[in-house]
Amino acid sequence: MSGWGLGLRLALRELRGGLKGFFVFLLCIVLGTATITAVQNTSANLQAGLQKDAQSILGGDIKLRQIYNPLPESVKNYLGDRGFALSENVETNSMVRSDGANEDEGRSTLAQVKAVDGNYPLYGSFEVSDAHGNPLDQPLDILQSGGTYKAYLDPELLARLNVTVGGMIGLGELDFVVTGIIQNEPDRLGGGRPPIAPRIIISRDALNKSGLLQPGSMAYHNLLVKLDTNADVGAVRSDIETDFANENWRIRDRTNAAPSIERFLDRLVLFLTLISLTALLVGGIGIYNAVRAYMTGRLRIIATFKSVGAQRHVILKTYMIQIFILGTLGLLVGLATGLFSSAVAWPFIRELLSLSQDFAIWPAALLVAALFGYLTLFLFSAGPVINALDVAPTQLFRDRIDPVKTRLTPGYGLTMAVLSALLFMLVYIVSPDKELAVYFTVGAALTLVFFNYLGVGIVYLFKMLPRFGTGATRIAYTNIIRPGNITSQITLSLGLGLTVLVLVALIEGNFSQAVTGSISKEAPSFFVVDIQKDQLNDFNNLLAETETVSDVRTSANIRGRIKSVNGMPAEEAIISDENRWLLSNDRGLTYTSEIPEHSEILEGEWWDSDYQGPPLVSVVEDVREAFGVTPGDTITVEVLGREVTAEIANIRSVNWLNYTISFALTFAPGALENAPQTFLATFRIDPEQESAIQRQISEDFPNITLIRLSEAMETVSGILEKIGIAVRIAAVIALITGIFVLTGAMAAQNERRVYEAVIMKTLGASRKTIITAYLSEYAVLGLLTALAATAIASFGAWALVTKILELEWTFLPGTLVSTAVIALIITVILGGIGTLRALNHPVASYLRNE
């Protein structure tokens, strides 16, 4: 007989006692599983959405991309002959100007230009509205129609330029009428450039006449292909790859429409999953406390069961089934809450990424959340149940049942080990980043153990101290070390939540510090791209004449690709996948006689400034990692069909975060001077002069693109902020769970507190003494926990920031101080509420009861 049936029967009878004492238990499960469900289900919707809209995100079934030049007629004919629909567009960054009524009111700002043909878009719908939000009919026909040049703008671009529909703007050498506001651009997510500026859409014809497409201008030419519904996309793709084997187009198909977005979202989801898992683990402490309290109350019954001949395994099943039933209740509420949150958030996310996917419920997401929920539930409740089984039935002959001691018996240890291993496996399976999964598990386990022993340690330390203080101090002191103290529970429940919160705050702080922080110090005010060779002098003169301009640096920009290393084709020579970006067909190359700023030579020597001789190249660390090269090896690059082989003279490390222009491959003078090239420049200028110089340059050199760092940062910070909100919500839920756990732990102490307060009052202690005593106990513990949490979180954040994100570490004392304050406030307020309740208990009633 397995005992499950009997266990279930007994469990159901036991549950007639109701949910009393399980409030915190349920809350912990609900919060934890709700967060995981919300994250997982939203992630599943995102994946489905990207999948569903893959064709419109990519812009077609297959996309060919080439820099500088349109794709040749040969490939267009090749695809056209097979009956596929084609569409071409060009993407480039450029300045857009608007004239104000007065000279001073004119504005100019960076925009991402997309020039489309009449077939755009092959998939999805391109929606444009007039000034009142009414949709335009046939927006493409309007765009391609003759007469004035027309442009559609993002709402944000309208605002930046201070123009409305019907107004005029300048782009390159042409004037355009603002004809409509872009409402939906189906393939924006699949675009090739990071979204640092708003969009403007014009016709290809207009772009060709605008003078923006100078030789060597950074423009992406895309050819989009729409297959017949039943065509095999993989086959067509490989046909193109074989028949045009010598071309270096980038080919992408609908099975991998937006890989960088997908990778980014994967990371974000993983991060959120891990934080919500932490919330669940914090809840685990609440589960443990609740189950332990419950089992302590059931000891007499367990002893009775034993005395009438119950087998140990039946009793175990009886209680595990109860916990399963109660846990399932919490889990169902958690899943429902999570789905509800996910459903509420989805319209916003969908809008943000312009996906067509409707909200859906994903069983796999629910399964993951439920598995996490159950594993945590049993991990934290098995111990108290197993320990309770050890109650001696002989105690039934006495008046009092002693609470069962927490003992790590072999059965307990084995159960913990198996459940922990399963939990780890689950984290490992759902995590796209295996390394991070391991770090997380180890970190979380160590942190849990640490905060448990922190409490033990505090008690131990206080015991070692000579007994000190009088009155309130003395009472506080004895409370911390008293047998049955909740010191460990305070450190545990608060510690883990605080750690996550600080960790997240520090990582976020460091991240935005890294992105935006260095602007004020050394970063240039502007990046300038696409300066033509014949404009370089005039450009430099303009800067030289302008006041407050400083730190002007220019460098040649030649686009090429790494063809081979020591004679071996680069695709075969590469040894680290992480550095595959080096193989792209439009790597920037430059040449210089002087060592670039913010570079440090790691190996080899920099060349003499008057070097003349066979080609030499200086490469960055990533190149060394990618190909395992050392000075003396050779690298061959291909620039517009011409090959240049150079010997590696040295290997540099570069701090990319200083916003200086830096090239992975920098050649010594002599090798590349005659290659087609444009120039890049950076310069600093007084912030007040930024707008003026921007306007000036875009008027004098319409084809030159200016990236104003402060503006780009605003766009980036906006995106970071939206992500930050999601991450912070998850972290705050972990902390809130901790607060509930703490409330539960303190409530369990309530009766003792009331009793103590009554005794102290009878002995003549003033209200003030009692309040001071309790609050200082909580304050000391809150503060110590906060200190430990900030220490651990700082270490964790430092490791993550410097080792994984590879950013510079900034210490953020503000974050740390505010954490300590939060911890203090939480413990003191929670403690204070309990204390006041205890104090307001009338003395007489209590003593009469005795």
Partner 1 sequence: MTSSDTNFLTLENIDLSLSSQAGQVDILKNISLSEEKGEKIAIVGPSGSGKSSLMMIMAGLQRPSAGLVKLSGCALNDLDEAGLTEFRRENIGIVFQNFHLVPTMTALENTALPLEFSNKFSSKDEVFKKAEDVLTEVGLSHRLSHYPSQLSGGEQQRVALARALVASPKIILADEPTGNLDQETGEQIIQLLFRLADQSGMTLILITHDPDLAARCSKQIKLVDGKIENTGKV
Task: Pick the closer one to partner 1 by CB: 76 or 300.
Answer: 300
Q: How far apart are CA 460 and CA 458, in angstroms?
A: 5
Q: Please, are residues 618 and 649 in contact by the beta-carbon 8 Å criterion?
A: yes
Judged by CB under 8 A, does residue 844 bind partner 1? no
Judged by CB under 8 A, does residue 308 bind partner 1? yes
Name the token pair of 437. Answer: 């999964």
> What is the SS3 string spanning 438-507?
HHHHHHHHHHHHHHHHHHHHHHHHHHHCCCCCCHHHHHHHHHHHCCCCCHHHHHHHHHHHHHHHHHHHHH
- Contact stretch for partner 1 (CB under 8 A) within 55-63, 149-157, 252-260, 307-315: 307-315
Closest CA to 727 of 268, 42, 102, 60: 268
- Contact stretch for partner 1 (CB under 8 A) within 12-20, 199-207, 678-686, 696-704: 12-20
What does the chain come to in residues?
A: 850
Q: How far apart are CA 639 and CA 643, in angstroms?
A: 6
Judged by CB under 8 A, does residue 307 bind partner 1? yes
Closest CA to 496 of 68, 786, 159, 160: 786
- Contact stretch for partner 1 (CB under 8 A) within 233-241, 253-261, 306-314, 560-568: 306-314
Contact pick of 148, 311, 409, 593 for partner 1 (by CB under 8 A): 311
Task: Pick the closer one to partner 1 by CB: 405 or 848.
Answer: 405
Q: How far apart are CA 386 and CA 381, in angstroms?
A: 9
Q: CB-based burial of residue 518 (10 Å sphere; 0-12 exposed, 13-18 middle, 19+ buried)?
A: middle
Q: Which amino acid is at 157?
A: L
Judged by CB under 8 A, does residue 303 bind partner 1? yes
Residue 290 beta carbon to partner 1: minimum distance, rounded to whole angstroms: 18
Closest CA to 342 of 796, 795, 36: 36
Q: Please, are residues 302 and 391 in contact by the beta-carbon 8 Å criterion?
A: yes
- Contact stretch for partner 1 (CB under 8 A) within 103-111, 114-122, 280-288, 302-310: 302-310
Judged by CB under 8 A, does residue 336 bind partner 1? no
Q: Please, are residues 496 and 282 in contact by the beta-carbon 8 Å criterion?
A: yes
Residue 9 beta carbon to partner 1: minimum distance, rounded to whole angstroms: 7
CA max distance for the chain: 104
Task: Pick the closer one to partner 1 by CB: 301 or 531.
Answer: 301
CA distances from 537 to 448, 625, 671 (A): 64, 38, 22
Residue 395 beta carbon to partner 1: minimum distance, rounded to whole angstroms: 10
- Contact stretch for partner 1 (CB under 8 A) within 2-10, 252-260, 520-528, 673-681: 2-10
Residue 384 beta carbon to partner 1: minimum distance, rounded to whole angstroms: 19
Q: How far apart are CA 63 and CA 482, in angstroms?
A: 71
Footprint (CB under 8 A) of partner 1, residues 389-428: 392-394, 396-399
Q: How far apart are CA 9 and CA 705, in angstroms?
A: 76
Task: Pick the closer one to partner 1 by CB: 16 or 405.
Answer: 16
- Contact stretch for partner 1 (CB under 8 A) within 11-19, 409-417, 542-550, 736-744: 11-19
User: Running DSSP on this structure, what letter comes out for residue 135?
Assistant: B
Footprint (CB under 8 A) of partner 1, residues 771-830: none
Judged by CB under 8 A, does residue 305 bind partner 1? yes
Q: Please, are residues 457 and 492 in contact by the beta-carbon 8 Å criterion?
A: no
Number of Cβ within a 10 Å radius of residue 369 = 28
- Contact stretch for partner 1 (CB under 8 A) within 255-263, 311-319, 441-449, 715-723: 311-319
Q: How far apart are CA 602 and CA 598, in angstroms?
A: 13
Contact pick of 52, 76, 209, 312 for partner 1 (by CB under 8 A): 312
Task: Pick the closer one to partner 1 by CB: 17 or 718.
Answer: 17
Residue 343 beta carbon to partner 1: minimum distance, rounded to whole angstroms: 39
Footprint (CB under 8 A) of partner 1, residues 377-396: 392-394, 396
Residue 301 beta carbon to partner 1: minimum distance, rounded to whole angstroms: 5
Size of the site for partner 1 (CB under 8 A): 29
- Contact stretch for partner 1 (CB under 8 A) within 310-318, 334-342, 515-523, 631-639: 310-318
Q: How far apart are CA 771 and CA 712, in angstroms?
A: 54
Closest CA to 249 of 116, 60, 67, 93: 67
Task: Pick the closer one to partner 1 by CB: 20 or 132.
Answer: 20
Footprint (CB under 8 A) of partner 1, residues 16-35: 16-17
Task: Pick the closer one to partner 1 by CB: 300 or 561.
Answer: 300
Q: What is the DSSP string of 300-358?
A: HHHHHHHHTT--HHHHHHHHHHHHHHHHHHHHHHHHHHHHHHHHHHHHHHHHHTT--PP
Task: Pick the closer one to partner 1 by CB: 11 or 668.
Answer: 11
Q: How far apart are CA 568 and CA 564, in angstroms?
A: 5
Task: Pick the closer one to partner 1 by CB: 12 or 833.
Answer: 12
Task: Pick the closer one to partner 1 by CB: 310 or 712.
Answer: 310
Q: What is the DSSP string of 605-668?
A: -PPPTT--SS-EEEEEHHHHHHH---BTBEEEEEETTEEEEEEEEEEEEE-GGG-----SEEEP
Residue 396 beta carbon to partner 1: minimum distance, rounded to whole angstroms: 5
Residue 492 beta carbon to partner 1: minimum distance, rounded to whole angstroms: 28
Task: Pick the closer one to partner 1 by CB: 399 or 435.
Answer: 399
Q: How far apart are CA 66 and CA 63, in angstroms?
A: 10
Task: Pick the closer one to partner 1 by CB: 305 or 412.
Answer: 305
Judged by CB under 8 A, does residue 329 bind partner 1? no
Task: Pick the closer one to partner 1 by CB: 397 or 468.
Answer: 397
SS3 assignment, position 391:
coil
Binding mask 272-301 for partner 1 (x = CB under 8 A): ----------------------------xx
Residues that bind partner 1 (CB under 8 A): 1, 6, 9-10, 13-17, 300-301, 303-312, 314, 392-394, 396-399
